[in-house]
Structure 1
C-alpha cells in the first residue's frame, strides 16, 4: 500500500467531499461513516474534523463514540480488568450499537438514534435522550475494532499506527495483544476504504480516496 503525505485539513475536506457526494449503499436516507482505530490514534478528533467539514456543507451530522456503548463492568471484567481477549470481543456492546444506532438508520427507519448508553466511570446507564437525525444526515461512528461486525458503513477510515508507534502511544500496554489480534483476524487496513498513517499525528499520510 502506497502512502502520500497530506495535511489533516486537506484530508478532512477530501473525505467530507466524498461523503457529501455519496448515496447510502443500503437504500436508506442516511449515510454512515466509520472512523476506526486504537484509542492512541484519537479517532474522536478525526470524527469531529469530518463532522465539522460536513456541517459546513450543510449536512446534519451525529458523532457517536463506541466508548458510550461499553458493557456493564460485571461483563467487561468477568476475566479480570486486564484481559486482552475480553477487551477485544467483550467490552463493546455491538448488539446495542446495532439496535440503537444502525437500525434506526436503515431504510424505513425512524432516524432516532441513542448517542450513548453506558457511563463506564459511574457504571450505569447514561439516560441520554434520543437524537433525531434528519433524512440526508450523516452518522460518524468512531472507536476501535469497528470492522468485522458487518456494520453498514458507506465509507470507512482506518487510522493506522505501526506496531512500534502503537506501543509507544498506548497507555494501557495490556491491550496491545488485542490490537494484534484485530490485525491478524480482520486486517483493518485492507478492509477500510481509506487508510491514514498516523505514527506522527502532526504529519499524517494516506492512501487516497477509493476510485
Structure 2
C-alpha cells in the first residue's frame, strides 16, 4: 500500500502502525494524516514519478505556468547605430558649451577669448555671488577662459549681470536640441531613421560678448 503524507511524501508500506493518524481527505492530509492511494492513484504515481503528492491524489499534473513573452532582442546593427548617434549628440552638445568675449581697446579687438559657465555656476553668480560682491563694494569680477592653462578676464559686475541671462537662454536652447535629438534617436525603429537625425541642425550661433575696456563695459 502506498500512502502520502505532507512531510515524508510517499511511503510504500504493507500497513501503518496503529498509532499513525490515517485520513481520507485533503483537509486531514494538511493536518498531517496519512492518505492511502487507490489503485488508480498508485498507477498515476508510477506513470509520473516526479508528480507531487497532491498531483497524484488528484490524478492530474499541475499545468506549467505560462512564460512571459520576451521581446526579441534589438538587432545588433540598430543598437550600434543608436549608440553611435547618442554619442554624436553628446559630442555636439559638448561642442556647443562655449561663448566668446571680444576684448576691445581704442576701437580695435585686442583679444578674443573662449569661455564657458555651466548651469550651477551661472545660477550662483547671478543670484548670489555677484550681488554679494556688489554689496561688498566690488565693481569687477574674474571670468576664466577654457584654455589650458586658463586665463582670467576682469569684467565689470554690471556687464556680467547683463550677459548671464543671454547665456542662460542660449544654454536652454542647446539643451532642448540635445533632448529632442535623443528622444528621436530612441524612438527610431530603423537604422535609416537614425541616420537621418542631423545633430547639428538648428544649433544657435555661438554668443560673442563685447568688452570695451575704454568704457569699462
TM-score (ref. length: structure 1): 0.23
Structure showing greater relative contact order (alpha-carbon pairs closer than 8 Å, 6 or more residues apart): 1
TM-score w.r.t. the length of structure 2 is: 0.22
Q: Rg bigger for which structure?
A: 2
